Structure 1
Amino acid sequence: MRSLRALRWLPFAVMLCVAVLDVLAGRSLMFLPLLTLGPAFASLSGGVRRTSAVGAVALAICLFLASYNNLVLHWQNNLTVVSIAGVTLASMLAARLRLERERELASVRQVAEAAQRVLLRPVPRRAGDLQVALSYTSAAAEAQIGGDLYEVVTTPHGVRLLIGDVQGKGLAAVETAAWVLGAFREAAYDEAELTDIGERLEVSLTRHLDDEQFVTATVAEVHAGEMTLVHFGHPPPLLIRPDGTCTTMDPPEQGLPLGLGTLDASAAKPHRIPFGEGDRILFVTDGVIEARNAAGEFYPLTDRAGFLTLPDPQAALDALRADLVEHAGGPLLDDAAMLLLHRRCS
Structure 2
Amino acid sequence: MSHARQHGRDHWPIRQHKRGACPTLPPRARAVAHWAAGTPALPVLIVFLIVLVDLAGGTGRVWLPLLAAGPALAAAISRPAGVLGVGLLASLLGAAIGVRHGMPASELTAVLAALVTVALAGTLASALRGRRERVLAAVRSVAETAQHALLKPVPETVGPFQAAVHYSAAAAEARIGGDLYALIPTPYGVRMIVGDVRGKGLPAVGTAALVLGVFREAAYDEPDLLDVVCRIERSLARNLGHDDFVTAVVAGYPEPGRLEVVNCGHAPPLLVRGTEVVPVDPDRPAPPLGLRALSGESPGLQVVSFTEGDQLLFYTDGVTEARDADREFYPLAEGLARHLCDEPARTLAALHQELLDHVGGRLHDDAALLLLRKPVAAAGAADAGGLALTGSPAVLPLAVRPEPVVDGAFDDREGAV
**Structure 1 and Structure 2 fold alike (TM over 0.5):** yes
What is the CA deviation profile of residues 224-255 of structure 1, one whole-angstrom value per residue up to 9, with x for unaligned ones? 212111111110000111x2111111111121
1:256 to 265, 275, 287: 287
More deviation, 74-83/319-328: 319-328
More deviation, 268-277/180-189: 268-277
Which amino acid counterpart does residue 125 of structure 1 have in structure 2?
E
Distance (Å, rounded) in 2 between the aligned partners of 1:261 and 1:9: 63
Distance (Å, rounded) in 1 between the aligned partners of 2:340 and 2:98: 71
Unaligned stretches of 5+ residues in structure 2:
1-11, 13-39, 378-417
Q: Which runs of 4+ in 1 moved over 3 A?
A: 20-28
Partner of 1:231: 263
**Secondary structure of 1:29's partner?**
helix
Mapping 1:49-198, distance limit 5 Å: 49-71=81-103, 74-198=105-229
Q: Is the 8 A contact 1:307 1:319 kept in 2?
A: no
Deviation at 1:339, TM superposition (A): 0.7
Distance (Å, rounded) in 2 between the aligned partners of 1:166 and 1:12: 50
Distance (Å, rounded) in 2 between the aligned partners of 1:281 and 1:193: 21
Pair 1:199 & 2:199 matched:
no
Query: Relative to total residues, which structure has the larger helix share, 1 or 2?
Result: 1
Which amino acid counterpart does residue 96 of structure 2 have in structure 1?
F
More deviation, 195-204/282-291: 195-204
**Secondary structure of 2:61's partner?**
coil
Mapping 1:279-298, distance limit 5 Å: 279-298=310-329
Which amino acid counterpart does residue 176 of structure 2 have in structure 1?
I
Q: Is the 8 A contact 2:312 2:372 kept in 1?
A: yes
What is the CA deviation profile of residues 65-107 of structure 1, one whole-angstrom value per residue up to 9, with x for unaligned ones? 0121123x52110111111111111111110000000000000
Partner of 1:265: 296
Q: What is the identity percentage for the equivalent residue pairs of Structure 1 and Structure 2?
A: 43
Distance (Å, rounded) in 1 between the aligned partners of 2:200 and 2:99: 60
Q: Is the 8 A contact 1:43 1:92 kept in 2?
A: yes
TM-score for both structures, normalised by structure 1: 0.93
2:354 to 314, 320, 323: 323
Distance (Å, rounded) in 1 between the aligned partners of 2:262 and 2:242: 23
Q: Is the 8 A contact 1:29 1:77 kept in 2?
A: no
Q: Is the 8 A contact 1:288 1:336 kept in 2?
A: yes
1:12 to 44, 63, 75: 44
What is the CA deviation profile of residues 100-130 of structure 1, one whole-angstrom value per residue up to 9, with x for unaligned ones? 0000000001001000110011234323221
**Secondary structure of 2:90's partner?**
helix
Distance (Å, rounded) in 1 between the aligned partners of 2:229 and 2:204: 19
Q: Is the 8 A contact 1:124 1:152 kept in 2?
A: no
Q: Is the 8 A contact 2:155 2:164 kept in 1?
A: no
Distance (Å, rounded) in 1 between the aligned partners of 2:373 and 2:271: 10
Distance (Å, rounded) in 2 between the aligned partners of 1:127 and 1:79: 72
What is the CA deviation profile of residues 115-172 of structure 1, one whole-angstrom value per residue up to 9, with x for unaligned ones? 0110011234323221111111222332322111111111121111100011111121
**Secondary structure of 1:133's partner?**
strand
2:63 to 25, 31, 47: 31
Unaligned stretches of 5+ residues in structure 1:
none
Distance (Å, rounded) in 2 between the aligned partners of 1:331 and 1:163: 22
Distance (Å, rounded) in 2 between the aligned partners of 1:17 and 1:260: 66
| Residues 253, 42 of structure 1: alpha-carbon distance in 2 compared, 3 angstrom cutoff | same
TM-score for both structures, normalised by structure 2: 0.77
Distance (Å, rounded) in 2 between the aligned partners of 1:294 and 1:317: 23
